[in-house]
Structure 1
Amino acid sequence: MCFRSSFTVRFFGFSSRYKEGAQLQKVLEFIRRQRARFALKKAFYSAGLFIPYKNGDKTYRIFPKIHSVKIDDDQTEYVFTLINGMDPKEVSKKEYVFMQHFGANIELDGDHKTFTLTVYRKTFPKELKYNYDTFFPVIDELDLPIVAGMDRHGQWHVYDAIDEPGLLISGEPGAGKSSQIRSIITTLIQYKKPHELEIYLGDLKMSEFHLFYNIEHVKSVCIYPEDLRKMLTYLTEEMKRRGELLNKYRVTHVNKLPESEKVPYILICIDEFVMIMDDKDMKAMLIQLVALGRALGMVCVLSLQRPSHDILDTKIRSCLTVRMGFRVSDFSNAKIIGTPGAEKIAKETPGRFLLKRSDIIELQAPFLDEKHAEKILATYKSSDWKNRFTGDSRPSSEPLTDDILGGL
């Protein structure tokens, strides 16, 4: 009996201490939330987001109503609503004030009434160097992985291009667009064997894809419009051939074709594709490839520097469901590509961009410079490579042994 009584006393003592600890924790959390509310009200005051009114000789201020404050290890999230009569545009205009109070690592989203301010404690790495081994575990189960980038929490964001085959990339020179395209192509070359993936490149600026000459996976690099026309014509015919195979075997995707009829995936990547959009035939072929490629294992990556409504019409935009918006000059350009906010990305953060899929998220792209890419790609070079639609044959950057000996 004494033993049981002693045990009961100890148990209730522990329970009492536990309750006191839990109550103290609640008090501390309440104090943290109150401090956070006060900090937000100070930001409202600095931004002039209040409605003044007088009561006798005293002037009072009505601030936006703070509905909730959620605090965890990674972030503090505020939800607030404006007082009727407040202009919601003033919130966006005064975003810099919130940055002055809470730092640059914030997100401010809202509509005409309700806004969410998220203050992050973690930030992006200053530079995210390309390392295939680092992200390989994340892409290992995907058919045709696109490595988008890393978020502020250190998580990689990837997706399968077989499920989302249309990608549009936009960004000013120096924003990181070229490195991202280089990274995407180089990753797929390492991930897939030449008989599993064919790559067709359009480089009308003649400056982006010279690294990919002589690569086994790459069937053509077109730098002239007339060669690009041949390439698109061939791909359109290949698209029809694959469609006939699906119809013949009554399947919905090339992945389901019998082993004897298996076809490689096709990646079509055209930099500054706007340069061919005035050509009705090439434009029609490109739209067809983007619109119908999903079931046929044909993926399109298109890029441009400065989007506009005239160039980027709704037909092609609606098919390019994934968007990567690097820094652009103004809100209009950012809105056209579907990544509003890309105009706010600082010049000091190359490689930072907004990824739009179902939602919009800010990411840092892995940086792959030309020298590093050349080292990676050297393994995949072929000595008898030919440029399919130009008849051009480029010598490998590494001379063959016979050539060296012949020069002795």
Structure 2
Amino acid sequence: MIKEWFAKQRMKASLFQVFRNADIGISYSYGDNKGTVYPKIRKVKFDYERKTAICYFSLPTGLDPKEIKKKEYCFHQVFGQNIEVKGEVREFKLTVYAAKLPSELTYDFEAYSPSFKGMALPIVAGMDLNGKLIVFDLLKNPHLLIAGETGSGKSTQIRSVLATLIQALPPERLELFLCDLKRSEFHLFRQVEHVQELFVSPAEMLPMLQYLQKEMRARGDRLDQHEVTHIDELESPPPYIVLCIDEVALLQKETKLMELVEEISAIGRALGVFLILSMQRPDRKVLDGKLKNNLTVRMGFKCADLINSRIIGTPGSEKLKIDGRMLLKTKDYDLKEIQAPFLTLDNAKKILEPYKVAKPNDRFNSFKKPPIDVIDLTENENGVFGVLDE
């Protein structure tokens, strides 16, 4: 107890040193009395299981909360790199981590799979500063944006996400539509049974997106018919559909395509249709208000500058220095620093080999099938009139 008390006093003293060095406070002057009111340190506690120290402090009235973010470098100078400073308006929390994130986290599906229990579409984000594996369900956190510069780990993360989905779900429960506009990432998935087709140009994408639009309408009609709100409530639910577009920024001039993508983001969740979008350089024209708001999960790898990281919604990702390191933002995690799994191209090929099948060379054949519950009216009419004629 005595050792812990002294340790807490040292933490308080160090935090107060940050406030003084960074001039985080409100100056006052009453006659001959002059001074500064600094933030009040309310509590210090240690989490021995997670190996963290947490300091709670509140700002004096009149101090701009933005000062904490502006001078976050001062917290790092005193407490090191493995910290988080979070809060808003008045109440803030400083978390100091004793553990360090690994500079590389090897992809391991068998180690991850116990965390998938109860999840429909598991996505492994990576490991946080507590050494905890962060996994979320795309069904509950619909539509994912992955952004970052070349070499930051973005492409490896897409590879990891798709490989995990393929191993976690059988092909009758998952259909993948992959769009590789750079023609550099998705070739290894081409013959995987889950993959309906691989597209490499906007011209190829248009009929596919129109098919998905019809499929969503048919699924919506089926929900109305059975008076349910989600496809999983149906007695025989159709498979989940995941549309993954690498370098979606190349579609900024394709108004019709982007309208269809936005429609998926708006209504796809209940219908079992989900987006995974990636881009190197964020573009405001592509990430307009509606689409951006519907992308509930953002993975911000290293960006060129603060402007780009703000477009993604992960300010601070421009400061990341380690490959595979990102800031994750979801409705449950507000800018959590994560080390993403590293899946090499060779290992990905080995993982995917058992899932590959021979496919016809007829491009677009896989998605030209009619949407679910669509009746062949021509055949039906012939049958009816044939009976009447008789």
Give TM-score, length-normalised by structure 1. 0.81
Q: 2:188 aligns with which of 190, 201, 211?
A: 211
- State the distance in 2 between where 1:141 and 1:81 align: 39
Aligned to 2:327: 353
- State the distance in 2 between where 1:250 and 1:290 align: 22
Q: 1:43 aligns with which of 18, 24, 34?
A: 18
Distance 1:135 1:215, change over 3 A: same
AA in 2 matched with 1:321 = T
- State the distance in 2 between where 1:305 and 1:30 align: 48
Matched, 1:330 2:305: yes
Deviations 1:105-142 (CA, angstroms, capped at 9, x unpaired)? 01122345443221111121221110110001111332
Aligned to 2:43: 68
Number of equivalenced pairs: 363
Q: Which one is further off, 83-92 or 351-360?
A: 83-92
Q: 1:102 aligns with which of 64, 76, 79?
A: 79
Q: Is 1:214–1:385's contact at 8 Å kept on the other side of the alignment?
A: no
Report the Cα offset of residue 321 of structure 1: 1.3
Report the Cα offset of residue 218 of structure 1: 0.5
In structure 2, stretches of 5+ residues that fail to align are: 367-390
Q: Is 1:328–1:334's contact at 8 Å kept on the other side of the alignment?
A: yes
- State the distance in 1 between where 2:27 and 2:217 align: 68
Distance 1:389 1:37, change over 3 A: same
Deviations 1:347-373 (CA, angstroms, capped at 9, x unpaired)? x24233323223312222111111110
Report the Cα offset of residue 54 of structure 1: 9.4
Q: 2:229 aligns with which of 252, 259, 263?
A: 252
- State the distance in 2 between where 1:44 and 1:248 align: 62
- State the distance in 2 between where 1:106 and 1:351 align: 15
Q: Is 2:123–2:137's contact at 8 Å kept on the other side of the alignment?
A: yes
Q: Is 1:221–1:387's contact at 8 Å kept on the other side of the alignment?
A: no
In structure 1, stretches of 5+ residues that fail to align are: 1-24, 392-408
Deviations 1:40-77 (CA, angstroms, capped at 9, x unpaired)? 22233333435678999999665432222222322122
AA in 1 matched with 2:92 = F
Matched, 1:365 2:345: no
Q: 2:172 aligns with which of 195, 205, 222?
A: 195
- State the distance in 1 between where 2:316 and 2:353 align: 38
Q: Which one is further off, 184-193 or 302-311?
A: 302-311
Which structure has the larger Rg?
1
- State the distance in 2 between where 1:150 and 1:386 align: 40
Deviations 1:303-359 (CA, angstroms, capped at 9, x unpaired)? 11222332211111122112222222222222222222222222x242333232233
AA in 1 matched with 2:224 = N
Q: 2:118 aligns with which of 124, 141, 157?
A: 141
Matched, 1:29 2:4: yes
Report the Cα offset of residue 287 of structure 1: 1.1
1:3-402 equivalences in 2 (<5 Å)? 25=1, 27-49=2-24, 62-73=37-48, 74-83=51-60, 86=63, 88-259=65-236, 262-346=237-321, 348-360=322-334, 361-386=336-361, 388-389=363-364
Computed over aligned residues only, the root mean square deviation of the Cα atoms, in angstroms, reads 2.5
AA in 1 matched with 2:99 = K
Distance 1:189 1:51, change over 3 A: closer
Report the Cα offset of residue 84 of structure 1: 5.1
